[in-house]
Structure 1
Amino acid sequence: MSYAIIGFGNIGHALAKAFARNGIEVTVATTRDPESFAADAAAIGAKVTAKTLAEAVKADIIFLAVRFEAHADVAEALPTWQGKTIIDVTNAYGVPPEDLGGQPSSKFVAQTFRGARLVKGFNHLGAAVLAQDPAVHGGRRAVFLASDDDNAAAEIAALAENLGFAPIKLGGLSEGGLLVQARGNSWGRLIFKDLVKFD
């Protein structure tokens, strides 16, 4: 299984740190020339590699960690996303619901990435918290996952475990997923909740 993070801002850095901590290879990409952030990627860890967007989208599992407004530009990188799993880490705060056809933002994103299986996840924590080691006081920091594809949700839950987090599945995008999605100028109820799970 291969992994990529599209977007290398604060959230992209935080996600890359999680991969580096666990010795898992990951590609990071933006629309910029990878040479412009290669040193930054290498500083996080030896298994974090800067690549072009065209190379990064070859990965099986892709974290979409760009500004919400930029997701459609990323979607144009491939004619079809069949066989890919997209983890939607975007937050559509401030985007009028009518611009999304009244749908949850992740459903809107899913339609843009034609053929992909989409999981909403890793977006409810601020970058500074997400970047920390998820092992906290003998427990593990929770990440919430929502998807209309149970198999995709299970796959990303397993990845979250490998990265040291405690995955909590919320169900479909239009049900539990609304708890971790911004709608207009309001945040879902679980956004910014830093919870720790004890086994």
Structure 2
Amino acid sequence: MNFGTIGAGTVAQAIAGHLVAAGHKVTLSNSRGPDTLLDVVTRLGPLASAGTAAEAAAADMVFLAVMWPQVGDALAGLPAWDGRILVDTTNTFAELEVGTAGEFVAQRAPGARVVKAFNTLYAQYIAADPRHAEGRQLLFYAGDDAAAKADFHAVADAIGFAPVDAGTLREGGRLMQIGGPLSALHALKQAQ
């Protein structure tokens, strides 16, 4: 499986770092163009590359890691999703008419199988090694497509997190959004 990021800030770089460390290829993108990411991909190593948003979005699993006000622009004009997985890491402080942030993203990425994840953790917990002597960092996720959630679960587990299915984009998304009971919950699954 190959991976891409739409956005290349702290969260995207942290996720890419875990994926590269596990031996996966990752294409990072941002709104300023691939040339602005040369230092980032050099630091991440030979499995990381810089590309356009369209190139990153062509990956099997794509991480949307932009600030909330940029979500619409970041998803506009991308090729058809054709069932690829889009992992929405964004957070919004605004009240949405559509329901949850994950549902909002799903409406703007028709054909994508959207999984909501990484939005409950502060970036420092995403970047750090999720494996600790006491256990592994919990990572809540939500989605409406069971196969996409299973694929995401396998990837999250393989890079060291302890993934926990929080439900659908609507119900799980409510639990995970800012102000929900899972927001900023930093806990470990105890080692057995």
Q: Same fold (TM over 0.5)?
A: yes
- State the SS of the aligned residue for 1:39: helix
* 1:149 partnered with 2:145: yes
Give 1:166's match in structure 2, choosing from 157, 162, 165.
162
Match of 1:178?
Answer: 174
Distance in 2, Cα, partners of 1:80 & 1:19: 24
Following TM superposition, where does structure 1 have runs of at least 4 consecutive aligned residues deviating by more than 3 angstroms?
none
Match of 2:23?
Answer: 23
Distance in 1, Cα, partners of 2:81 & 2:101: 18
Match of 1:104?
Answer: 100
**What per-residue deviation string (whole Å, max 9, x for no partner) do you get for residues 71-127 of structure 1?**
11122232522221110000012x2x2xx3151111111111011110000111111
Contact 2:176/2:183 (<8 A) preserved: yes
**What per-residue deviation string (whole Å, max 9, x for no partner) do you get for residues 135-167 of structure 1?**
112411111010111111111001101111110
* 1:35 partnered with 2:35: yes
Contact 2:102/2:169 (<8 A) preserved: yes
- State the SS of the aligned residue for 2:5: strand
The alignment-based identity, stated in percent, is 38
TM norm structure 2: 0.93
Contact 2:53/2:78 (<8 A) preserved: no
Match of 2:48?
Answer: 48
Distance in 1, Cα, partners of 2:58 & 2:153: 21
Give 1:118's match in structure 2, choosing from 114, 117, 124.
114
Distance in 1, Cα, partners of 2:3 & 2:92: 24
Contact 1:3/1:61 (<8 A) preserved: yes
- 5+ unaligned residues in a row in structure 1: which ranges? none
Match of 1:137?
Answer: 133
Contact 2:106/2:114 (<8 A) preserved: yes
TM norm structure 1: 0.90
Distance in 2, Cα, partners of 1:81 & 1:74: 14
- State the SS of the aligned residue for 1:54: helix
Distance in 2, Cα, partners of 1:151 & 1:103: 23
- 5+ unaligned residues in a row in structure 2: which ranges? none
Distance in 1, Cα, partners of 2:59 & 2:98: 31
* 1:189 partnered with 2:181: yes
Distance in 2, Cα, partners of 1:162 & 1:139: 14
